[in-house]
Structures are given as structure tokens and as C-alpha cells.
Structure 1
Amino acid sequence: MPCESGDQAYSMAEGVARRSYGKLVAFLAARTHDVAAAEDALSEAFASALSDWPKSGCPDNPEAWLLTVARRKSIDMIRRQHTDSFVDEDLQQIAAVLDTMVDTDIPDRRLALIFACAHPAIDPEIRAPLILQVILGLDAARIASAFLMAPATMGQRLVRAKSKIRKAGIPFRIPEREELPARLDTVLEAIYAAFAEGWSNAAGTDVADRDLAEEAIFLCRVVTELLPDEPEALGLLALMLYAEARRPARRGSSGEYVPLADQDVAVWNWQMIDEAEALLHRASTSNSIARYQLEAAIQSAHVSRRRTGHADWYAVLELYDALLEISGSPVVAINRALAVAEIHGARAALEALDEIAADPRLAQYQPWWAARAELLARTGAIHDSHHAYEVAIGLERDPSVSRFLARRQSALVQ
């Protein structure tokens, strides 16, 4: 297909990068075990595309074009670094990459690669971030945000992980079906982190973010089909559906941010919510309760509150207590404190927040400051609340949420 302009070539390349970057890197790295080199080769292939496509036309299969060029770039890199005899061996490995991805019981190729990246020889703390970068194409800064970590620290950990894969020769292969349950926790963690990043664009105006959220839901559906008796997979799918069902109500007619308590429930996707309820009920029959089921149950409680007008905050707090005991997450602790405020008041909630105040990850976490600002305002600590709002506004990436916080700050009574 002809490319009428450089802009059209760029648009096609951008679409391929969003859709297939991780898959292409995985193909290139499957036998060489060198993820960093695969990324370098693919980067050069994209540069070649932007130079070649406006002149020779956009290919009918841009992914295949990029893979072919990247494979050549990989070979060139090997030739520059090693002897001819070593090159011949690696040439055979690279040529066999696609063949390794054909015979698998996993029905979706990208999900198969995600399970491959959850290899037990890789440090457990870096498996999910590695999946987000290599398979789903997120950069280190966004991954760091998802895991409450400094971008530089996350970048260093990812580099070390890729180096270990290369040096240790960790087999980048699709696991057998019986190996899947042992890798499931990592896979679900990566899928949820991807969804959270995609859901952060509340209005859905960023196509890449919206696609990321939809991709996460799709991948989790495939997991539940592949492993239908895994309650946590069902719980995660329910959790994401509850959240996604509210997307249409998260922005007002003029684009303003609308918090959950003020959303128009008539705009919620009730078909999606009904599916989530059914999934959560199905998961509960396993009598094995864990993180995602508890998070989904909390979302179910919020749906019930908005549907009936009656809030059972004691039940919500019990769910948060159980979730905090399982996860130890400061994010859960913040949300639990807000539930405490509904039952025992803002001062008790601030005391709950103080219990986790020493966690260094919270210094750059907007919801921590926004929660403190709201609770401080309720206790009459206006000066401290104003400062907390100032920090929260400075940390927020979404302009609409920043404006919402600024309105809350301006409404403080001195």
C-alpha cells in the first residue's frame, strides 16, 4: 500500500509499535536470550521504516517487514561482535524464532509470551515489570509508577534482569500447560498493572491507554478460559470489569473529573457489572479467597451502595482489613483509611495513615497526599490541608484531576 506522506508512514509505525512491539521483541529474543539486543535491533528497524516507507510504500504486513529487518540488524550486530563460526550458530537460532511460537496450548500468542516471561529463574520482583516492558511495550517510567518506584531504579532493575536472561541462558520458551498455575500470580500481576495504566486515562481519550485497558481485559478472559478453575483469575477479571464499567461516568460533559461518589450510575455499563458479579460469585465457590477476589468484592460493595443508596462501610472495612493483611500494600492502607473515616471519623483515619507515613514510596504518590488533604480538611487543619493539596496537584499527571484537586483546595475555609 503506498504511503502518501511521511505522516502516514509515521502513523503506521506508531500503530505497529503500540500493537506489536512486545511480540516482536519476544520473537527476536526467544533463542538469543538477549532482550536488550532485540530491543536495539527493533529500534533500528523502526528507524529504517520511517526512512523507507515514505519512498517505497507502506508494506501490507508491517510487522513482518519490521521483524525481517530487525533480524538482519541482529545478525549485523552479532557479526560485529563475534567470530564467523559463532555467527552461523546464532543465525540458525534467529531463523528458528517464529517456529518456536507455533506449537503451544495457549490460544493467544501474546499471553503465551507473558507466561514465558514469568520464568521462575527470573527474580520474582522483576517478572511483572519485565512483562510490561518486553511484551506490552510500557516504558520504565510508567512501569515505575505502577510499582511505586523511582524510574531510574526500575530502569536499572530491568537492565539487570535482561542481562541475567542473556548471561544465564534462561530459556525464553512457552511453558507447558502443567507449568502455568505456578506462573499465574506473576501473569495476573502484570495484567492488572497494565490495566491500571490504561485505566488512568479516565476519559478514554488516549487511544493507546484505552487499548491497553481493553487488552488487559482480553488477556484475562483468555486466562480464565485456559485455567477455568483458578479463582484469582476470575476475581481479577471481575475487578477490571467493575472498574471499566464506570469509565463513561468518570468525566462530565465538559471533561471535568467526577469522583466515584458523584458519578451518574445511569451511565455505568450495567451489563459489564452484571458479568463481574457473576464472575465474583463463581470465584467465591472455590472457598479460596485472595487478593483480587477481595478487591473485586470491595468494588461490588461500592456498586451496591450506589444502586441502593445504603452504604455498609463496616463490611467494606472488613474487606480492606483482610486485603491489607494479605498484601501489606500502602495503596490498600490508604483506601482502608478512607473507609475508617466513614465509620470512626477523619482523626481516626489520619492516625491510620500515620502508621504508614514512613514508607518512602508514598512521598511521590499523589493519592496519599490527596487523601491526607481531604482528611486534614475535615479536621479543620486548613493550613496543612492546603499544603497537602499543593503536593498532590504537583504530582498529578491528569490535568482534569489537577483541576479537581485545585477546586477542593480553593474551597478550604481559612
Structure 2
Amino acid sequence: MSAAEARAAAERAARASYGRLVAILASPTGDLMLAEDAVSDALERALQTWPEHGVPANPDGWLLTVARNRQRDVWKSAAHRTRAPLPADPGDTAPLTSPLDTLDPDAIGERRLELLFVCAHPAIDAAARTPLMLQVVLGLDAARIARAYGVGAAAMAKRLVRAKRRIADTRIPFVVPGRADMARRLPGVLEAVYGSYAVTLTGGPDEAPLRSPDSLAGEAHYLAVTLAALLPDEPEVLGLAALISLSLARSPTRQKDFVPLAEQDPATWDARLIADGEAYLRLASATDRLGRFQLEAAIQAVHCDRRRTGVTDQEALRTLYSALVLLAPTLGAQVALAATVGRLDGPEAGLAALPDGADAFQPAWATRAHLLGAAGRGAEAAAAFDRAAALTIDPVARRHLSDQAAALRGPR
């Protein structure tokens, strides 16, 4: 195996193993920060040694052993002894032991779901729960999370540190909770899993293809499907698995040019993911509890049905978006409804349906620009495209919006 292949294997292990290794290492003490440091150190060692010595037969077991040794070294240190108790009381003369010493590195199970429910505990500040999940389960750094939430990186870092200290101080158990506690925590877990998928949509062209299992979108899909297997009677869990499957099916690989949904070739969409998403949606619809994720999945199913019929049922979209606005009146849902109204009733009707208070909301400006263009108001449309481009993180999408503005202005 070449050095490049070994490095790629280390990077894949980092993406696939980060969350569950953090959960394993943090579960005895609740010290998430130490667990993250230990896993990061192990991953750095892997990048240094695997290209030279080869990828071990069990990468997860190798990483756990290195991280566990790093954690033990910290526990032995005088600095750590002065600020935190040891995870076990070995006595004055007994050798230092780790609660993880009896764990078999060759039998590492799925632990990320436990960590998700820890982060959703009521003792954690609600504003920190989803960002915390995105960092400790999927490994996103504070700067990227801050960008997604529109706050400063330093403020987000402080919020995350406070949440991790809260977990350690309150000794929240690392377990999947019982049904009573799960009802309180599950909505936050679902929001975090979907949030981890949504964040990937703002990435640049140098990131992994969205459909790749190694991408963050692939990880979010994996977590959603794992949740659905764990909780097959929860309709919103099934709805989330359907939503991410159907949305991911239409997500193109990172490419040089942005292609709007209406111009995409449905033949390039992933038929297997569409079938999976539709199956999850049928299971969810068999229950008598309708939720936001089920509605959003149904909207995605309407779009995906163009692969079969060649057309998009706009009236079905209006019905579903109207229901979504009643159930969960987010700016995104209101803007999407306005866009659908514009396609059905004309651009002026769509403009009238756009919500107030969306001055900093990129989708609202992009939708306004398209509607103004369709209404023949070119100068206003160009200005709206400029504003949408300024609010866009993805450089490929930003260039597309800027090009739309330039085309409306014509040659200079």
C-alpha cells in the first residue's frame, strides 16, 4: 500500500470512528475534552505511522489503544491530579488502572447514539445541544459550526466548552435513555442529525462528494438510518431517515458548476437511495403521528418522483408546504411555499407570499431574485441576486448567483 493510500485510510478512519471512540473514552468519566484530545492524538499518530508501516488489520482497535494510552498518560500527570479525580481509586501502592483496560479493541460497537443522547440531556443548555453533537459526534470544528449558526467562532468555542464541562460535572450517564427520557431528548437528537447533514450543503468544491460514505452527509445518513433501526416505531425517526435518504439521492457530487434543481437530469439521481427513502416514508405514514420531518420527506419524495414521471407535481408541493408552514413555520418553509406559489400563480403572487423579517436569509433573497426576474423586473432581480450571492458560503453557488446578476445587467 502506498503512503497516499495509507493516509487516505487514516482520514477515512477519522471520519468513521471519531464519534464512537470519543464516546467510549469519555463514558467512564464524562470528560469529553480529554477524550477528544486523546482521539485527536491517535489520529495524528495514524497519519504519521500508517503511511510508513501500513494500515493495521483493525484500524478502530489501533486508534482506541493509542488514544487509551494517551488518556492514561494524562491521568498519571501531576497537572491532571490537581484538577480532577482519577477515574478509579487504585490505592496508594496499586498501579494506575483505566476503566477501559478490560475493553476489547477488536469488539468496538456503535456508541455514537449514546453520545447523541448525552448531548441532548436537559442539563445541557438547549442552545448548545446541536452544536455539541456536531462537534463531538461528527468532529466538526467550532469555526465551521459557528459559521453555520451565524455566530463568532470564539463565542461558539466557549459555548461548547461550557457544555462539555456541564457533562463532566453532572456525571450524565453514557447510555441510550429509557422511553420516558427519550421522549424529551429525541427531538434534539433528530435536529442534530439533520443539522449535520444540512451543514454539509454549505461546503466548498474541495470537500468529499455528498453521496460518499466518507462525507459528513454520508455520516449523517448513517446516523439517521441507525436511529431508524433502533427506534422503528418512532415516525419522526423514520421521517428523518426518509428525508436525508431522498435529499441525498438528488445531491450531485461536488462539481465545478452549480446546477439548479429544475435543470438537473433525474437519471443522475441515486435510485437506491430514493427507494430506501420512500420505504422509510411509507413506514412513517402508517402511524397516526405526523411531524415536520415526515412532511419534509414527502416534499423530497415529490421532487424525486420526477425521475419516474418526468414532471414535478407543483400542487402537491403547495399542499405539503402549506401543511409544513402550519406545523413548523420556519423561514425556510415560508420561502419555499412562496416559490411554489410563484410557479403556480405567477411571480407577483410569489413575491407577495414571501415572509417579512428575512433580510439576512439567503434563500429568501435567491427566491426573490428569481421571482423578480420572472416578473420582468430585471434591475431589482440583479440587485437581489447580488444580495443572495453575498450571503452564500458555497463558492460554486455564489458564482452561479453572481452570474445570474451579471446576465440580467447585460454587457457593459
TM-score w.r.t. the length of structure 2 is 0.81
Find 2:99's aligned residue among 85, 90, 96.
Answer: 96
Q: CA RMSD in A?
A: 3.7
Conservation of the 8 A alpha-carbon contact between 2:202 and 2:393: no
Per-residue CA deviations over 1:166-204 (Å, capped at 9, x if unaligned) read: 223323334346644443222222222223344556989
What does residue 287 of structure 1 align with?
288
How many Å separate the matches in 1 of 2:315 and 2:12? 47
How many Å separate the matches in 1 of 2:409 and 2:121? 55
What does residue 376 of structure 1 align with?
372
Deviation of 1:292 after TM superposition, in Å, equals 0.7
* Letter of the 2:140 counterpart: L
What does residue 186 of structure 2 align with?
184
Find 1:66's aligned residue among 63, 67, 83.
Answer: 63
Deviation of 1:109 after TM superposition, in Å, equals 3.1
Structure 1 residue 343 and structure 2 residue 353: aligned?
A: no
What does residue 229 of structure 2 align with?
225
What does residue 383 of structure 2 align with?
387
Deviation of 1:4 after TM superposition, in Å, equals 6.7
What does residue 407 of structure 2 align with?
411
Please say which of residues 236-245 and 37-46 is displaced more in the overlay. 37-46
How many Å separate the matches in 2 of 1:271 and 1:53? 34
What does residue 131 of structure 1 align with?
133
Q: SS of the counterpart of 1:120? A: coil
What does residue 74 of structure 2 align with?
77
In structure 2, relative to structure 1, the CA distance for the partners of 1:100 and 1:289 (3 Å cut) is farther
Conservation of the 8 A alpha-carbon contact between 1:199 and 1:244: no
Structure 1 residue 245 and structure 2 residue 249: aligned?
A: yes
Conservation of the 8 A alpha-carbon contact between 1:373 and 1:385: yes
Task: Within 5 Å, give how 1:108-119 maps onto structure 2.
Answer: 108-119=110-121
In structure 2, relative to structure 1, the CA distance for the partners of 1:207 and 1:300 (3 Å cut) is closer
Q: SS of the counterpart of 1:256? A: coil
TM-score w.r.t. the length of structure 1 is 0.81
Deviation of 1:138 after TM superposition, in Å, equals 1.6
In structure 2, relative to structure 1, the CA distance for the partners of 1:204 and 1:86 (3 Å cut) is closer
Deviation of 1:13 after TM superposition, in Å, equals 3.4
What does residue 155 of structure 1 align with?
157
Conservation of the 8 A alpha-carbon contact between 2:266 and 2:307: yes
Structure number having the greater helix percentage: 1
Conservation of the 8 A alpha-carbon contact between 2:210 and 2:218: no
Find 2:217's aligned residue among 213, 218, 223.
Answer: 213
Deviation of 1:289 after TM superposition, in Å, equals 0.8
What does residue 143 of structure 2 align with?
141
Q: What runs of 5+ residues in structure 2 fail to find an aligned partner?
A: none
What does residue 301 of structure 2 align with?
300
Deviation of 1:411 after TM superposition, in Å, equals 2.1
Q: SS of the counterpart of 2:257? A: coil
* Letter of the 1:259 counterpart: P
In structure 2, relative to structure 1, the CA distance for the partners of 1:209 and 1:381 (3 Å cut) is same
How many Å separate the matches in 1 of 2:286 and 2:233? 10
In structure 2, relative to structure 1, the CA distance for the partners of 1:281 and 1:110 (3 Å cut) is same
Q: SS of the counterpart of 1:89? A: coil
Q: What runs of 5+ residues in structure 1 fail to find an aligned partner?
A: none
In structure 2, relative to structure 1, the CA distance for the partners of 1:88 and 1:336 (3 Å cut) is closer
How many Å separate the matches in 1 of 2:264 and 2:15? 31
Please say which of residues 18-27 and 170-179 is displaced more in the overlay. 170-179
* Letter of the 2:122 counterpart: P
What does residue 171 of structure 2 align with?
169
Deviation of 1:30 after TM superposition, in Å, equals 1.2
Deviation of 1:134 after TM superposition, in Å, equals 0.6
How many Å separate the matches in 2 of 1:220 and 1:55? 36
In structure 2, relative to structure 1, the CA distance for the partners of 1:24 and 1:290 (3 Å cut) is same
Deviation of 1:299 after TM superposition, in Å, equals 1.8
In structure 2, relative to structure 1, the CA distance for the partners of 1:62 and 1:347 (3 Å cut) is same
How many Å separate the matches in 1 of 2:27 and 2:266? 47
Deviation of 1:147 after TM superposition, in Å, equals 4.4
Deviation of 1:380 after TM superposition, in Å, equals 4.0
How many Å separate the matches in 1 of 2:192 and 2:338? 26
* Letter of the 2:406 counterpart: S
Q: SS of the counterpart of 2:132? A: helix
Deviation of 1:161 after TM superposition, in Å, equals 0.7
